[in-house]
Amino acid sequence: MKMRLSCIECDLPTILETEISEKNVYELTCDNGHKKNYIVQIQKFELLYELAAYALLDGYTREAVSGFAVAVERLHEYCMQILLIKNSVSKENRDKTFKMVSRMSERQLGAFYYLYLSEFKEPPEQIPGTRMKFRNNVTHNGEIPTYEKTLEYAEYIFNYLIRLLKKIRSIENIDQYELQYYGDYQMPTRVKEETLKGNPPTGMGVITMIGTSYGNWDYSDKNFKDQFEQLKNRERWLYN
């Protein structure tokens, strides 16, 4: 999957094409020789949801269901990191502990539940068993879901993600914890060093359905049907 960025140093718009990256950080050189670091302002769970939505639009329903499900898992991981950062747990210890459960999704889910409970003093929302059964039948048993069922699942997952993001963003000083997470996991050491030398990366915003980098900070402007219609009609920033 590829994406297009624009060189900010060219007098006329120059398009830069690149494969998407795990870190969302790109060192690119345009046709005119301008070399620059670019950071795309998008969280991994957000990117995964966007990829799944594109798969749904293109008719790949099994791939879409898998993508939506993984987006949930990565948001849970993100929330765990934010809550641990809030409690002053070092990156080294966070990484060592997550490595112990990195291949065990059920244990990750249990860890998320208890961290959420500790922070908010109430149980987290649990995804209904019917949704989990649908997801498991598709991802593990080879079921090929209909477009309508996949669209319904996409809407449920979208609303689940938004509700959880609203809850996390209700934490006092959340911007501080999100910024630390960003520095810990989305900015490579090389880019940090260049930033300290006076060559900071250029932040590039993209329009997505979840929209973590734009819109209302409480996500009150996020409606699935509106966002999905906009996705259909806007120019793709992700393409094959």
Residue with tokens 């961290």: 115
123 vs 112: CA distance, rounded Å: 11
Q: What is the average per-residue pLDDT within 210-226?
A: 88
Give residue 197's pLDDT: 85
Q: What is the pLDDT of residue 144?
A: 97
> pLDDT of 190-207, one tens digit each?
888 888 888 888 888 889
Q: What share of the chain has pLDDT > 70, as a percent?
A: 100
* Residue-wise pLDDT tens digits, 54-102: 999 999 999 999 999 999 999 999 999 999 999 999 999 999 999 999 9
Helix ranges (DSSP H) in the chain: 44-57, 61-86, 91-101, 105-120, 129-141, 147-169, 174-185, 189-196, 224-233
Round to whole Å and give the CA distance between 76 and 108. 8
pLDDT at 178: 94
Those residues whose C-beta lies under 8 Å from the C-beta of residue 212, and which sit 6 or more positions away, are 41, 42, 43, 46, 165
Q: Establish how many alpha carbons lie within 13 A of residue 3's alpha carbon, considering only the half-sphere containing its beta carbon.
A: 22
Q: Which amino acid, 124? A: P
Q: Which of 71, 70, 3 is nearest to 43 (CA)?
A: 71
pTM over 0.85: yes
Tokens found for residue 11: 């007098």
Average per-residue pLDDT in the chain?
93
